[in-house]
Amino acid sequence: MTGTEPMDGTTPSIERRILDLHDQFTASEKKLAKVVLECQDNLAGYSATELADRAGVSKATAVRFFRRLGYESYNEARVQARDGGEAGSPLSELLESGAPSALAGNLGAHLGQDLQNLTRTLEGLRSDTLNEAVTALAKAERVWVVGFRNSRTLAVYAHALLVQLKPDVRLVPSGSLSLAEEMVDVGPKDVVLAIGFRRRMQALLDALDVAREVGARSILLTDPTAVRSAGMADIVLRCYTRSVSLFDSYVAPMSLLNHIFSRVVAALGDAAVERMDRIERVHGRLATFALRPEQD
């Protein structure tokens, strides 16, 4: 089995192939990979020469690039992109596999893939980038945690941890208001923590745009396929989310968020400890965790 073949034996999409090999690409190949990811929804409408021109690389580089991805030719990649449906869609993955059972795998394969995601995520993180993210979160006047669709669950988790450490941590979206109403108060001393794994919504780009317009720092937690959103963020933290099943795995980003906020505690020092202590005292007054008989 090659590095681009999933453990479940299905045919990997072009997005998955790029994700798996991204760290091994040359500088020219990374430029081309960025263009291919941007154009993947309409890849069949481009020739290899057009993609190479957009990336500023030679046609020979494009030929080598698609062969490295495991295609005999660019035309094979175009055919797969044309027939593959929505990029990142569970339905597309299901139809590609032919049957749900083909993607289910076994528990050992499932755990093995999660461990690989954790390892590759750790290996791909730069210590200075991670330090920068921790410092930005610790020093921010307010933190706005943004996440949509599948990323919403991660955003809720991030908010639940960070609100224990700092005052004025906002979760967006929080209700039925528009993004403009939710983020109108973002200021230059704030940090927008945007969580955006595939498939990303336009609203994520809008939130990053708000941060950029007012001069707020932005941190994007995402996967290696992010292009436009990554280009709009000040700090980008990439996690691997490949899975042997129908849905992406978020074990790596959950672990990274846990690690980051543990380091934010250290960066904040006594302020974080005192806040957590006040929270515990309020829990005590409210008997939050006590089992009480129902009152009439």
Which residue is associated with the tokens 């995520």?
Answer: 121
pLDDT of residue 269: 95
CA terminus-to-terminus distance, the chain: 65
Given a contact cutoff of 8 angstroms between Cβ atoms, the answer to whether 196 and 223 are in contact is no
Q: Which CATH fold topology does 117-286 show?
A: Rossmann fold (3.40.50)
Element of type H or E holding 251 = helix 251-268
Q: Tokens in use for 38?
A: 């941007």
pLDDT of residue 52: 92
Rounded Cα distance between 53 and 64, Å, is: 15
Summary count for the chain: helices (H), strands (E):
15, 5
Note the pLDDT tens digit of each residue in 12-48: 778 778 877 887 899 999 989 888 887 776 787 888 9
Entry pTM = 0.74
Rounded Cα distance between 108 and 8, Å, is: 12
Phi then psi dihedrals of residue 142, to 5 deg: -140, 150
The model's confidence at residue 242, banded by pLDDT at 50, 70 and 90, is confident
Q: What CATH number was assigned to the domain covering residues 14-104? A: 1.10.10.10
pLDDT, greater one: 192 or 35: 192
Name the least confident of 93-97, 110-114, 185-189.
93-97
Any idea what the Cα angle at residue 30 is, between residues 27 and 35, rounded to 5°? Answer: 135
Note the pLDDT tens digit of each residue in 132-153: 999 999 999 999 999 999 999 9
The model's confidence at residue 175, banded by pLDDT at 50, 70 and 90, is confident
pLDDT of residue 36: 87
Rounded Cα distance between 194 and 236, Å, is: 10
User: Cis ω on the peptide bond leading into residue 224 (within 30° of 0)?
Assistant: no
pLDDT of residue 120: 85
Note the pLDDT tens digit of each residue in 50-76: 999 999 999 999 999 999 999 998 988
DSSP calls for 95-151: HHHSSHHHHH--HHHHHHHHHHHHHHHHHH--HHHHHHHHHHHHH-S-EEEEE-THH
Q: Compute the mean pLDDT over every residue in the chain, rounded to the nearest whole number.
A: 85
pLDDT of residue 152: 95
Mean of the pLDDT values across residues 209-237? 92
Given a contact cutoff of 8 angstroms between Cβ atoms, the answer to whether 254 and 16 are in contact is no
Q: Domain residues of the chain, as ranges?
A: 14-104, 117-286
Given a contact cutoff of 8 angstroms between Cβ atoms, the answer to whether 43 and 77 are in contact is yes
pLDDT of residue 290: 73
Q: Estimate to the nearest angstrom the gap between the alpha carbon of 162 and the chain centroid.
A: 18
Q: Residues of the chain with pLDDT > 90: what percent?
A: 51
pLDDT, greater one: 22 or 157: 157
The model's confidence at residue 6, banded by pLDDT at 50, 70 and 90, is very low
Pairing of strands 217-222, 235-238: parallel
pLDDT of residue 9: 46
Q: Judge whether residue 99 has pLDDT over 90.
A: no
Q: How far is CA 28 from CA 24, 52, 55, 65, 170, in A?
A: 11, 10, 8, 9, 40
Q: Judge whether residue 196 has pLDDT over 60.
A: yes
Given a contact cutoff of 8 angstroms between Cβ atoms, the answer to whether 222 and 236 are in contact is yes
Pairing of strands 169-172, 143-147: parallel
pLDDT of residue 78: 84
